[in-house]
Amino acid sequence: MPIQISPENKVLMANAIRALSMDAVQKANSGHPGMPMGMADIAVALWGDHLKHNPKNPSWMDRDRFVLSNGHGSMLLYSVLHLTGYDLPMSEIKNFRQLHSKTAGHPEYQITPGVETTTGPLGQGITNAVGMALAEKLLAEEFNRPGYEVINHYTYAFLGDGCLMEGISHEACSLAGTLGLGKLIALWDDNGISIDGRVVSWFAEDTPKRFEAYGWNVIPNINGHDAQEVSSAIAYAKSMRNGKPTLIACKTRIGEGSPKFADTDKVHGSPLGDEEIAATRAAIGWPYPPFEVPREVYALWDAQESGASAELLWQDLWQGYVKAFPDLSSALKRRMLGDLPKDFDKAVTTLIQQTVDQKQTIATRKSSQNAIEGLASALPELLGGSADLTGSNLTNWSTCKPVRNNQWGNHINYGVREFGMSAIMNGITLHGGYIPFGGTFLTFSDYSKNALRMAALMKIRSIFVFTHDSIGLGEDGPTHQSVEQVASLRLIPLMDVWRPADTTEAAVAWACALKRRSGPTSLIFSRQNCPYLVKDTTQIEHIYHGAYIVRDTKKPQVVLIATGSEVGLALSTAELLASEGIQARVVSMPSTTTFDRQSKEYKASVLPSGIPRVAIEAGVTDYWWKYGCAAVHGIDTFGESAPAGVLYEHFGLTASNIAKTVHNILGN
């Protein structure tokens, strides 16, 4: 890309975005042309003058990251990726919003080359960007050395009024200011329009002052239709170097170029129509047929040569870094690839053996902390955190250091920002170099649910730690007692859910979550103590299958299936039944999602046909009927405030009550 592009050519470049966007939306008869047309000049400023990227290597380690937080404007990003030379041909632009195309209705990670994250739910994009900028800062502090700034890039985000109305944006942006993420630059599409019309009636605060209060630099009142003015604002943001992120407020007109619909909500989410598209072409001086871009415009946009040159400069720096710091460079490369250290399995084996030797009866939240403690030394990329509940979640470990504005660390105090925490973690994962986990109470997982869903949709390794499950909280009452949350987490496609019953199961759960690269994991831990389950080597191996036989008899008459803190209850029930002449198999099922992926043969060996099954979990019962149960002992109401033991008795989760159910099933 030329260093200097004339104002006239910048207009041509912007109009190419406008034309491709309105043509693609019209062909699909679906989409959002208004934002791409309104932010086209801003895109020219960023991609034409500033963005460090290589279309031929979209995963280059030190590329700038770009996030389209207002993801409904996806045709802007698709247009730019096509024009700059990414593997996104015109056939894909013409295939916008069609089945299996690379140009979906909103940008999708791992579907389209150059798309850094899946965006759509407003606010999560800018929050992902905060995570990316945080990862960049921490990696730079950890790995850069004088003369070798191998991690040195910016994170840019486009966002609109809708993103700024979502609370998650402010959870994240507040933290970004506090942590001093000075290489995060957000460009706000300040057009005053959303789906329902002019936002002044429902979004009227002074946004620049709000961001100043967060600790951001703010550059207000930039003409978003003057690419040079926007470019100068970006350059100024980069020059400040005061450790503050920057918000650039760009005044724009939604649907710029459309004679009839510009500056109205009519152009937000509907095709312009053939007549208005023709009028727009005439108004912007774009005489070309649909989906045609002249060669001279492609030449203005083409970033392949400049991108290759930028990466080559970095490669030269990298080669020097490799020679000067071989161990550091090897570790950084491994971590950016997402590979675990060679000695990780050894650390897991040692940890599991410790649990077997110690046979501790402790809360599984403590079992989790012990697992973190045992694995952290072998896993320097571990980046923990908590939504202001560290002392309850136990997500810290003895050698961890808190992340601060002026201090590298590997444990983040997110504050009371569950949703922000979860989406920031996704951004950290997407950036690469760290494996993040963050904790809160299980009942507050609902605050985070959409970020958890996005992690699953993107198939990324984010680890969500949830403690204080079920009615075992006791006196905190129904507001804090999670009866439906575990079931709802299990229903998220590609989300693995583990609810361990003891120290060994917790260690295995952590090992599986850390080794899993195809999706996120939710780890569910108790506040109350859980007895250690004595196991042999085979049983420990079978934990990895998600369910295993923890107690058996020669001829079981009933199978008791339990998970988490209720496995101990199931064992007590089996003992009671045995004294009454009934033989019971007890199955611990710490991960239903993992068990469901096992072979038919393994499933049948654990849950044989022809033997009645009773499931036990201190939560809603609906989920368990899928396993062909004759009965399910659970809680289909909200909880109560009382000591935990009293509540288990109140809700019928006792050995005697479950035994009665078994007798009824067997006709005794």
Residues 6+ apart with CB under 8 A from 205: none
Task: Of 148, 22, 146, give the one whose Cα is nearest residue 73.
Answer: 22
- Tell me the CA end-to-end span of the chain in Å, nearest whole number: 82
Sheet-wide strand order for 246-251: 65-68, 155-160, 184-190, 246-251, 217-223
Asked if 193 and 264 touch (Cβ cutoff 8 Å), the reply is yes
Asked if 153 and 52 touch (Cβ cutoff 8 Å), the reply is yes
Please calculate the CA angle 176-181-185 and round it to the nearest 5 degrees: 90
Q: Residue 411, SS3?
A: strand
Task: Of 310, 332, 313, give the one whose Cα is nearest residue 145.
Answer: 332
List residues bridging with 188 in a β-sheet.
159, 249
Phi, psi of 356 (to 5 degrees): -65, -40
List residues bridging with 66 in a β-sheet.
156
Q: What sign does the dihedral 545-546-550-552 (CA atoms) show?
A: negative
- Convert 494-522 into a string of H (helix), E (strand) and C (coil): CCEEECCCCHHHHHHHHHHHHHCCCCCEE
Q: What sign does the dihedral 345-346-351-355 (CA atoms) show?
A: positive
DSSP string for residues in 602-636? HHHHHS-TTS-EEEE-SS-SGGGGGG--SEEE---
Task: Of 276, 89, 94, 69, give the one whose Cα is nearest residue 188.
Answer: 69
Phi, psi of 336 (to 5 degrees): -70, -25
Query: Among residues 418, 505, 566, 617, which one is catalytic?
Result: 418
Q: Residue 239, SS3?
A: helix
* Tokens at 197, concatenated: 């019309």
Sheet-wide strand order for 521-524: 411-413, 382-386, 435-441, 463-467, 521-524, 496-498
Q: Is-catalytic flag, 640?
A: no
List residues bridging with 523 in a β-sheet.
465, 498
DSSP string for residues in 347-403? HHHHHHHHHHHH---EEHHHHHHHHHHHHHTT-TTEEEEESS-HHHH----TT--B-
Q: Residue 432, SS3?
A: coil
Q: Which residues have a catalytic role annotated?
A: 418
